[in-house]
A and B are shown apart, each in its own frame.
Chain A
Amino acid sequence: MTSDLSVHISGANTVWVLLSAALVMFMTVPALGMFYGGLVKKKNVLNIMMQSFTSLGVVSVIWVTFGYSLAFSPSELVPGILGDFRWAMLSGIGPSDVSPYFVSDATGRVPHIAFIAFQCMFAVITPAVISGAMAERMKFPAYVLFISLWTVVVYIPLTHMMWSANGLFARQGLADFAGGTVVEINSGFSALACALALGRRRNLRGAPPHDLTYTLAGAAMLWFGWFGFNAGSGLAADGLAAQAFLNTNMAGAAAALVWAALDWIIQKKPTILGFATGGVAGLVVITPAAGYVNLAGAMALGAAAGLVCYAMVVFVKNALHYDDSLDAFGVHGIAGLLGILGTGLLADPAITRGFAMAGGTGIAGLAFGGAKLFGVQALAALVTIFAAFCGSSAILWVVDRLIGLRVSEKDEAIGLDATQHNERAYTVIE
Chain B
Amino acid sequence: MKMIVAIIQPFRLDEVKDALYAIDVHLITVSEVLGHGRQRGVTEHYRGTKETGNLLRKIRIEIAVNEEFVEPCLEAIQKGARTGELGDGKIFVYDLAECVRIRTGERGTEAIG
Contact = CB atoms under 8 A, between A and B. Distances in A.
Interface in B56-93: 57, 83
Contact of B14 (A205, A410, A429): A205
A203 interface: yes
Interface string B31-56: 01010000000111110000000010
Contact of B34 (A43, A418, A423, A429): A429
Where chain B touches its partner, the secondary structure class is strand
A423 B11 contact: no
A240 B26 CA distance: 61
A418 B45 CA distance: 10
A414 B44 contact: no
Contacts of B34: 428-429
Nearest to B15: A203
Nearest to A428: B34
A415 B13 CA distance: 13
Contacts of B12: 413
Interface string A407-430: 000100111001000111000110
Interface residues of B, number: 14
A414 B11 contact: yes
B44 A410 contact: no
A249 B43 CA distance: 47
A423 B14 contact: no
A429 B43 CA distance: 16
A274 B42 CA distance: 38
A413 B44 contact: no
Given A423-B44, A423-B46, A429 B55 contact: yes
B45 A428 contact: no
Contacts of B46: 423
A410 B83 contact: yes
B55 A410 contact: no
Interface in A375-430: 410, 413-415, 418, 422-424, 428-429
A141 to B, nearest CB: 17
A428 B57 CA distance: 9
B32 A428 contact: yes
Contacts of A429: 34, 55
Contacts of A422: 43-45
Contact of B11 (A205, A410, A424, A428): A410
Nearest to A414: B11
B90 to A, nearest CB: 19
A417 to B, nearest CB: 10
Interface string A42-61: 01000000000000000000
Given A410-B83, A429-B34, A429-B55, A424 B14 contact: no
A203 B10 CA distance: 13
Contacts of A415: 11
Contacts of A414: 10-11
A424 B83 contact: no
Interface of B: 10-12, 14, 32, 34, 42-46, 55, 57, 83
10 contacts: A413-B11, A413-B12, A415-B11, A418-B44, A422-B44, A422-B45, A423-B45, A428-B32, A428-B34, A429-B34
